[in-house]
Amino acid sequence: MTLDAGELTELKPIEHFLQSRQEALPGRQLAAIREAAPAFKEWFAASGTPGFVRTCDLIELPYPRRFALWRASRSPAPFVRIFNRMMVVRWNDAGGHRRTMLVEPTEHYLAAATPYFASMEKRHPRMRTLAVSVHGTVEGHLERLGISPEEIDFITFDHLHTQDLRKWLGTTRPAEDLVASGKASLPRAMAAEPLEPFFPNARLLVMRDEWDQLFGDSLHPLQRRWYQQRTFADLRDDRVVLLDGDVQVGPGVALLSTPGHSIGNHSIVLNTERGIWTSSENGVHAECYTPERSGIPGVSSYASEWGAEVVLNANTIEMAAWQVNSMVKEKLVADRGGPGGEWVQHFPSSEMTPWVGSPGTAASFVWGGLSHGALQRA
């Protein structure tokens, strides 16, 4: 049985954007978001800061240019590269207890079985050697930081594309395929029993829409290629917390509903010593949030021709107008920084990075990581 957000008193509903979430027309929703954002931002900036934020490099991989930059880029290159990172966030709760959240702890060896990646591997068998670079694993980074799996209180993903969460959350039945694949570094003896969760105390924070679509016949054909739906059937769900909207998780730590890239997408919002940051996969680069300033060939002219405030990460365009709204929400909430202090502090969970195989797509800078505070070890 999953939990509702209301059962966890430490999750505080955020009401600033309630009105905007009820608008049925995207144009009206956009206006409501613009109206609500300043008050939210002022409140959030005064809500405190977490003690520690650090990104951890996981994997760089190729990604179709026409997804990453949709119609905006003029480059003929078929692929760009995106960089997946995990984020570790720590804070003290109201009772003074230390809380630790992992954002995007992707098991990339398991993500490779996503229908989209599996068919890409078939069509471009050499892509893995040419364009994929593995930088680390979730377990490796935690070990390096001196954080034990038991210390993880929350895990969250901006959305559940590509995820197989069985190793992290455990299963209700033996997961023979997972153990036999050898990809999850699990001992063979575990094939006969349900999997124990790797993070025994972690709660998964996920929007209800994102979760519900993974069961029965709820996934639309346009969405199927991006999910590992069958891996959710036997997942232990007693620590899954379903969110119905924006919540504050800790001081200066919030999850805002930002549907678009996926139907139950959310953004992680952090108040740091460098101001407010948002993070999600709605856009793949900070330049996509101020396309009029972008130096990527084609992007600024696209912005002026179409009056585009943002450039979508467009692998899923069934909710394009809502995705624009969500990116504007992120843009209005995030502070400015980067070179010249002009760029929206949106940290893409998959950040487009310069790559020799992708001429004509290089942005003027990359965030490359996010760091705030110091780690207090146990």
Binding interface with Zn ion (CB under 5 A): 161, 281
Q: What is the rounded distance in angstroms from the CA atom of residue 169 to the CA atom of residue 194?
A: 11
DSSP 254: E
Please state the closest distance from residue 286 (CB atom) to Zn ion, in A.
18
Nearer to Zn ion (CB atom), residue 32 or residue 255: 255
Residue 2 CA from chain centroid, whole number = 21
For the bound state, the minimum distance from the C-beta of residue 62 to Zn ion, rounded and expressed in Å, comes to 15
Closer by beta carbon to Zn ion, 272 or else 282 = 282
Judged by beta carbon, residue 180 or residue 222, the one nearer Zn ion is 222
Instruction: Give every CB contact of residue 33 below 8 A, 6+ residues apart in sequence.
Output: 17, 20, 325, 328, 329, 332
Closest C-alpha to 57, from 1, 173, 164, 140: 140
CB-nearest residue to Zn ion: 161
DSSP calls for 295-308: -STTHHHHHHHHT-
Report in angstroms how near the CB of residue 354 gets to Zn ion at its nearest. 21
- Main-chain phi, psi angles of 211, to 5 degrees: -70, -50
Q: Which is nearer to Zn ion, 111 or 242 (CB)?
A: 111
Which of residues 17 and 63 has its CB atom nearest to Zn ion in the complex? 63
Is residue 127 within 8 A of residue 36, CB to CB? The reply is: no
Give the strand order in the sheet containing 275-279: 12-13, 247-250, 253-257, 266-272, 275-279
Q: How far is the CB of 281 from Zn ion (least distance, A)?
A: 5
Q: Between 114 and 271, whose beta carbon lies closer to Zn ion?
A: 114
The nearest distance, CB 313 to Zn ion, in angstroms, is 8
Minimal distance, residue 82 CB to Zn ion, in Å: 10
